[in-house]
Amino acid sequence: MPQVSVLATGGTIASSENDRGASVASRGAGELLGGIAAGGPNVSSRDVMRLGSYLLGHRELRLICEAVAAELADGGVDGVVVTHGTDTMEETAYLLDLVQHSSKPAVLTGAQRPADHPCPDGPGNLQEAIGVAASPSARDKGTMISFAGNIYAARGTRKAHTVAPSPFKTMDGGPIGQIANGQPHFMSAPIRPRALALPPPAFDSIRVDIVTVHPGSDATLARAAVEAGARGVIIAGSGVGNGNSSILAWVEEAVQAGITVGLGTRVPEGPVVPFYGNGGGADVVRAGALQLGSLPLFQARLLLALMLSHGQKPNPELLAAHI
């Protein structure tokens, strides 16, 4: 019988109403597992933290990475499930995938309706995620998100709907698998770059900010980010990744000062293609910004933070396999 380790971190799957009528993460792994049917793989569980994922910082992400790595390294464990809030699941999943050396699967899941809802979706999602983590067919696919019957690769997947029961979407793609009768059926496998080292303690305090381009935007917020200690700033450019003259002047200055500047796009799908002038993407990249390809902004933010925390200065060669 396969052995699956369930690590609980909080999120709506673990949430119930408090005395102010607000939903808060309050249930641990044991309670979550109490809601699923008997039979199936052997399951062990552990509470790593109990937080809504909108409250996570880099330190919490590092602790989740360490907890998952420890379980995957256990010879008696075949796969790991992480229960997690959906708000920032795309970030934790991507970071876990970046640092996952094991061929065993790590599977994140959660819920859109709280645990005390009359019709909660958490128990079904958890049961399916356990089935994915236990399956030999899930090996060599890294970290995945299993949610509402679909399995998504970590890279490129975003929360694309605030309340829909199936809120995830892989940008420029679709799910890599589906679950039927508790069994995963994979249609494809993600292309994964060579795994990076786990985040070091320095990761906790690395600051990488995102600044959005919009009509009338200037470099005030980018400048403020650096003043607040940001080692990296990602420009969420318009369209194919465009700035403007104010942003361009700031990029020239910031790159000279050793700040890592990334150029992404505020458009949900499609790659950054720097070819416009007058402060557009071609100028911003010429000024030293690193174009971030099709990697979603919030995942790119973690990639830059991880590299910086390892003492690596991100450059086009280092980013090539990831974007």
Which residue's C-beta sits nearest to ligand ASN? 85
Q: Is 83 exposed, middle or buried (0-12, 13-18, 19+ CB in 10 A)?
A: buried
Binding ligand ASN by CB under 6 A: which of 60, 71, 87, 128? 87
Pairing state of beta strands 183-186 and 177-180?
A: antiparallel
Binding ligand ASN by CB under 6 A: which of 83, 92, 100, 112? 112
For ligand ASN (CB under 6 A), the number of binding residues is 11
Q: Minimum distance between the CB of residue 122 and ligand ASN, rounded to whole angstroms? A: 9
1 three-class SS: coil
Give the nearer residue to ligand ASN in terms of CB position, either 11 or 262.
11
Exactly one of 12, 83, 88, 260 is catalytic; name it. 12
| Residue 11 binds ligand ASN, judged by CB under 6 A | yes
212 belongs to the catalytic site:
no
Exactly one of 9, 83, 86, 265 is catalytic; name it. 86
Residue owning tokens 């089935």: 131
Joined tokens for residue 253: 């200055």
Give the nearer residue to ligand ASN in terms of CB position, either 67 or 272.
67
Q: What is the residue-wise DSSP string for 180-232?
A: ETTEEEES-----PPPPPPPPGGGGG--EEEEE--TT--SHHHHHHHHTT-SE
Binding ligand ASN by CB under 6 A: which of 5, 83, 86, 102? 86
Q: What is the residue-wise DSSP string for 218-274?
A: -SHHHHHHHHTT-SEEEEEEBTTTB--HHHHHHHHHHHHTT-EEEEEESSSSS----
Q: Minimum distance between the CB of residue 53 and ligand ASN, rounded to whole angstroms? A: 3
DSSP-H helix ranges across the chain? 29-34, 58-72, 89-98, 122-134, 220-227, 245-256, 281-286, 297-309, 316-320
Binding ligand ASN by CB under 6 A: which of 12, 170, 242, 260? 12
Give the nearer residue to ligand ASN in terms of CB position, either 12 or 102.
12
Give the nearer residue to ligand ASN in terms of CB position, either 159 or 231.
159
Give the nearer residue to ligand ASN in terms of CB position, either 54 or 275.
54
Pick the closest to residue 91 from 265, 309, 299, 300 (CA basis): 299
83 belongs to the catalytic site:
no
Q: Minimum distance between the CB of residue 196 and ligand ASN, rounded to whole angstroms? A: 25
Draw the binding track, 247-286, toward ligand ASN (x: CB under 6 A; -: no contact).
----------------------------------------
Give the nearer residue to ligand ASN in terms of CB position, either 12 or 244.
12
Q: How far apart are CA 115 and CA 17, in angstroms?
A: 9
Residue owning tokens 């008696």: 76
Draw the binding track, 46-85, toward ligand ASN (x: CB under 6 A; -: no contact).
------xxx------------------------------x
DSSP-H helix ranges across 16-121? 29-34, 58-72, 89-98
Residues that bind ligand ASN (CB under 6 A): 11-12, 52-54, 85-87, 110-112
- Residues recognised as catalytic: 12, 86
